[in-house]
């Protein structure tokens, strides 16, 4: 089973950039799920790709200014949760 990662970026999506363009960019990287918080300017991605710099480079190439915040291994979080429930 491949590891799944939750990756956080701080970015401000401008009116000139469409969410469809962002969606298309992330789809090319095989990002399964993503969400954007317009209030906190936080882009959250769920991906099997652990190399956040590759994602960041693709976003920047598409015209988005983004800053890496955090990477979480979701498989480790699930394992810890199971241990706590035992």
What is the torsional sign of CA 32, 60, 8, 34? Answer: negative
The pLDDT tens digits of the residues spanning 13-30 come to 876 567 888 888 888 888
How would residue 51 be classed by pLDDT, with cut points 50, 70 and 90? confident
User: pTM (2 decimals)?
Assistant: 0.77
Q: SS3 for the chain, per residue?
A: CCCCEEEEEEECCCCCCCHHHHHHHHHHCCCCEEEEECCCCEEEEEECCCCHHHHHHHHHHCCCCEEEEEEEEHHHHHHHHHHHCC
Give the fold, CATH level 3, of 5-84.
Answer: Alpha-Beta Plaits (3.30.70)
């Amino acid at each position: 089973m491949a590891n799944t990662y939750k990756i956080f970026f701080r970015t401000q999506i401008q009116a000139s950039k469409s969410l469809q363009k962002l969606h298309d960019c992330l789809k090319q990287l095989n990002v399964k799920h993503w969400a954007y918080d317009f209030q906190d300017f936080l882009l959250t991605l769920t991906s099997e790709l652990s190399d956040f710099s590759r994602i960041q480079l693709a976003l920047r190439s598409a015209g988005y200014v983004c800053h890496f915040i955090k990477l979480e291994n979701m498989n480790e979080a699930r394992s810890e949760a199971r241990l706590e429930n035992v």
